[in-house]
Amino acid sequence: MNPSPDRLDRALVWFRRDLRVDDNAALYQALESARQVFCAFLLDRDILAALPRADRRVEFILGALQVLDEDLRKLGGALIVRHGFAADEIPRLAAELGVQAVFANHDDEPQALMRDAQVADLLKTTNAELRTFKDHVVFERREVMTAAGGPYGVFTPYKNAWLRKVDGFYLSSYPVERHTHALAKTALATGVPTLEDIGFKPAGLTGHVGQGSRGAAALLDDFLDRIADYDKARDFPAVKGPSYLSVHLRFGTVSVRRLARIAHQLMQGGDHGAEVWLSELIWRDFYHQVMHHHPHAMTGAFRPEYDAIRWETGAAADALFAAWCEGRTGYPLVDAAMRQLNQTGYMHNRLRMVTASFLTKDLGLDWRRGEAYFALQLLDYDLAANNGGWQWASSSGCDAQPYFRIFNPTSQSEKFDAEGRFIRRYCPELADLPAKAIHEPWARAPLQMQGSGYPRPIVDHAVARERTLARYAVVKSRAT
């Protein structure tokens, strides 16, 4: 069979948030389009400069790159890893390799779009082009729209439309393995650098996340044994309920199409746990389409009237924020959650809602402060999902909880960690308290708390609730 006259001679795949070989849209498109395909990842100085020198995400990425490089070498290719600025390194590498096109998967974060536009312009000077593809979500951008042609602002109608549209085509995998003969090696692929090579140091990455796509596969196998109970177990932080795949979705060490396909098939067979988990994957798509259509929401309130809220500021507010960050608010579930985040880079989803509600509606602090702290600490940090979650908690986002819905941290503790198992793990000062006392230790066991080192509550929830209702009155007045 004669090769297509339109076939490229050489192409470069620029891996970003898609650190896997399997079912990778850009890799597949490059392999189908070019006779020789090179692969690269850029350790972007623009991104790395904003991170602390010990960052779990950098450690996770380097581990994922090791697996990706090994997988590519088994198939006849290799991974080139560069450390620099995208606008410099990608056009330079394209010129060194003599490629006609750089293939990458979409990244719809505002800064990423500006970066890609700049790289695309610079590639033109080397007679190359940037081609990008959907890979990070099932549906993106304008693929799920209202009957009037606009984006959805409420989740349930979006979810219903998503489910009506999804089928085998959208959930099918890209058969990368059929075309790997086009993968090419190069002397430029000298291996994956160490943390020290790029100016970082170990951050204590927890082992449960695994390494790259292999870790994702192990977690998925484990989760599939208990997915049927997901709807019942997911809200209890002391129970092994979640999939723990969020970091792998974030960095693309697992295909979202594969996960959604499994969940959809199980749901059709009557598995309610899989149905609820699929809904969580749809939430992820939802927040990404919000980011695409409403980029202003990445820095301000999705609903502009909420920007009129006057949050607490000054030294007292800063002290409250520090107590929240460090897990010493005097509310055990909140403190245990924040300590889990600080120690592991992970926080249970139910607790993300509890801690966010506490910051905004008990402490009266701007949701953006919490969003930024989560962005710094979360191993699975994703701008669209993190922003969406924080705006949901503060009631300023699309389809958010009503402003008058304020989580009671004690009630949440009693309901979702009744025996105090999770609290005891991260707040050892409270380990000897009986279950009935552990949720409000100073109120229910004051003598035992003397000298414990555990702080008294920094705010009275009942008083804070009234202040929040008054604070949000400006929103209500503008809506009427």
Q: Are residues 286 and 394 in the same domain?
A: no
Q: Environment class of residue 74 by beta-carbon count within 10 Å: exposed (0-12), middle (13-18) or buried (19+)?
A: exposed
Closest-CA residue to 391 (of 352, 428, 423): 352
Tokens of 143: 């693929």
In-domain check, residue 3: no
Residues 6+ apart with CB under 8 A from 347: 337, 338, 340, 341, 355, 374, 378
Q: Output the domain CATH number for residue 132.
A: 3.40.50.620
Helix (H, G, I), strand (E, B) or coil at 459: coil
Contact in structure between 415 and 317 (CB atoms under 8 Å): no
pLDDT for res 39? 98
Q: Are residues 234 and 360 in the same domain?
A: no
pLDDT for res 403? 82
Three-class SS of 27-54? HHHHHHHEEEEEEEEEEEHHHHCCCCCC
Q: Are residues 416 and 371 in the same domain?
A: yes
Q: Are residues 325 and 458 in the same domain?
A: yes
Q: How many CB atoms lie within 10 A of CB 325?
A: 18
Q: Are residues 260 and 330 in the same domain?
A: no
pLDDT for res 64? 98
Q: Are residues 126 and 151 in the same domain?
A: no
State mean pLDDT over 455-479.
90
In this prediction the pTM is 0.95
Tokens of 60: 């996770």
Consecutive H or E run containing 79:
strand 79-84
Contact in structure between 276 and 263 (CB atoms under 8 Å): no
Q: In angstroms, rounded to a whole number, what is the distance separating the alpha carbons of residues 351 and 108?
A: 27
pLDDT for res 477? 67
Q: Are residues 131 and 141 in the same domain?
A: no
In-domain check, residue 204: no
Over the stretch 359-412, which tens digit does the pLDDT of each residue have? 999 999 999 999 999 999 999 999 999 999 999 999 998 876 788 889 999 999
In-domain check, residue 353: yes
In-domain check, residue 308: yes
pLDDT for res 231? 97
If one counts the domains in the chain, the total is 3
Range of lowest pLDDT (124-128, 244-248, 331-335, 456-460): 124-128
Of 136, 160, 195, which residue sits at a domain end?
136
Q: Output the domain CATH number for residue 151.
A: 1.25.40.80
pLDDT for res 3? 42
pLDDT for res 401? 72
Per the prediction, the chain carries an average pLDDT of 95
Q: Are residues 286 and 311 in the same domain?
A: no
Q: Output the domain CATH number for residue 432.
A: 1.10.579.10
Tokens of 125: 């000077």
Helix (H, G, I), strand (E, B) or coil at 132: strand
Q: Are residues 118 and 162 in the same domain?
A: no
Contact in structure between 237 and 371 (CB atoms under 8 Å): no
Consecutive H or E run containing 10:
strand 8-15
In-domain check, residue 113: yes
Q: In angstroms, rounded to a whole number, what is the distance separating the alpha carbons of residues 152 and 290?
A: 8
Closest-CA residue to 179 (of 30, 15, 11): 30
Quick check: 425 pLDDT over 60? yes
Continuous H helices in 225-271: 230-233, 246-250, 256-268
In-domain check, residue 82: yes
Q: Are residues 354 and 474 in the same domain?
A: yes
Q: Are residues 104 and 143 in the same domain?
A: no
* Confidence band for 1, pLDDT divided at 50, 70 and 90: very low
Of 293, 323, 351, which residue sits at a domain end?
293
* Percent of the chain scoring above 90 in pLDDT: 93
State mean pLDDT over 293-317.
94
Closest-CA residue to 71 (of 15, 33, 132, 8): 15
In-domain check, residue 52: yes
Q: In angstroms, rounded to a whole number, what is the distance separating the alpha carbons of residues 176 and 133?
A: 15
Q: Which amino acid is at 182?
A: A
Residue 153: which domain range?
137-173+212-293
What residues are annotated to the active site?
280, 283, 311, 349, 367, 390
Of 273, 293, 313, which residue sits at a domain end?
293
Helix (H, G, I), strand (E, B) or coil at 480: coil
In-domain check, residue 51: yes
Q: Are residues 17 and 132 in the same domain?
A: yes
State mean pLDDT over 93-107.
98
